[in-house]
Amino acid sequence: MATIINGKETAGAVIAAVTEGVGSLERKTGVKPSLAVVIVGDDPASHTYVAAKSKMAKQCGFNSIQHSLPEGTSQDELEELVSQLNADPAVHGILVQLPLPKHLKSVPVIESISPGKDVDGLHTVNAGKIATGDLRTGLISCTPAGAMLLVKKIHGEDLSGLNAVVLGRSNLFGKPMALLLLAANATVIMAHSKTGDLASICRNADILVAAVGQPQMVKGDWVKPGATVIDVGINRVPAPGKCEGQSRLVGDVKYTEAAQVAGAITPVPGGVGPMTIAMLMANTLQAATRAS
């Protein structure tokens, strides 16, 4: 059976380090890191995520500011709020929760955030730094940064000689994840919905990262014996045997099968999920430290 990679525990260690860092920054400079989270509309899942981010920010000792805008907010109104937050020296981190309501374009909103305050690491300046191998001076997208920390817990800092396959090519996860693996010397394949014979490509992976948003798509016989499997999927599916309308969370990997073959695997929930918020806190402390 595979080693179960405990994301909750690793996230807890990151949060403890951030909380300590907040105390020492405040003692040295008087600055308290401040995170502004912007949410537009009423999507319940997004509100749950945002509430968790705000709660954790407070727990770390940050000032946590939440801007909840109505569904009907215009592009100009949203970008005007971002511009005010950019100009406010007391705000160190800005996060606009995605997805936005359909009438709003997310790219211009992300591009309107000052790169130094872009704690999501989605601005092209921050994405470009990762792409060019500068992992020091920008802000790295939270979920790939967290997934990478879990990979390094298993394999160490240097992934030389290891084949990595990333399933999914989103700007939010797949692309930055592939670039981080590459920066650590892994040999990387980025596979996606138009790739032929995904199963045989996956079977070659020493590190298999799944971020496709398809419940349990990766089967046990796609996994190379001894591989490290990082499951980024969070899919809500009906729970058989439970009452009508009840659901449970599953990843993009068929966990019970894959755990028989893998050397190490992240569970869902409790794997990559908790790392995202932890890395957001780390990025906010980083942004505040640079600004102080």
249 binds ligand GUN (CB under 6 A): no
- Min CB(147)–ligand GUN separation in Å: 12
Question: Exposure string (b/e) for 181-220, b if CB count within 10 Å is 16 or more?
Answer: bbbbebbbbbbeeeeeebeebbbebbbbbbbbeebbbbee
Q: Is 120 a catalytic residue?
A: yes
Answer whether 18's CB lies under 8 Å from 281's CB.
yes
From 19-27, 93-101, 179-187, 252-260, give the range in contact with ligand GUN by CB under 6 A.
Answer: 93-101
Catalytic residue among 117, 118, 120, 175: 120
* Other beta carbons less than 10 A from residue 61's beta carbon: 19
284 binds ligand GUN (CB under 6 A): no
143 binds ligand GUN (CB under 6 A): yes
Nearer to ligand GUN by Cβ, of 97 and 112: the residue is 97
Q: What angle do CA 178, 286, 39 make, to 5 degrees?
A: 75
The whole-angstrom separation of Cα 21 and Cα 7 is 21
3-state secondary structure of 281: helix
Nearer to ligand GUN by Cβ, of 143 and 163: the residue is 143
- Min CB(151)–ligand GUN separation in Å: 18
Q: Is 97 a catalytic residue?
A: yes
- Min CB(97)–ligand GUN separation in Å: 5
Rg value, the chain, Cα: 19
Q: What residue type is assigned to position 47 of the chain?
A: H
DSSP H helices, 30-141, are: 44-59, 75-87, 106-112, 124-131
Answer whether 112's CB lies under 8 Å from 79's CB.
yes
95 binds ligand GUN (CB under 6 A): yes
Question: Exposure string (b/e) for 125-136, b if CB count within 10 Å is 16 or more?
Answer: bbbebbeeeeee
- Min CB(141)–ligand GUN separation in Å: 7
Nearer to ligand GUN by Cβ, of 145 and 182: the residue is 145
The whole-angstrom separation of Cα 289 and Cα 272 is 26
The binder of ligand GUN chosen from 10, 64, 97, 126 (CB under 6 A): 97
Catalytic residue among 32, 55, 75, 97: 97
79 binds ligand GUN (CB under 6 A): no
142 binds ligand GUN (CB under 6 A): yes
Q: Is 53 a catalytic residue?
A: yes
Instruction: Report, as residue numbers or ranges, the catalytic residues.
Output: 53, 97, 120
Instruction: Give the footprint of ligand GUN on this chain (CB under 6 A).
Output: 95-98, 120, 142-143, 276
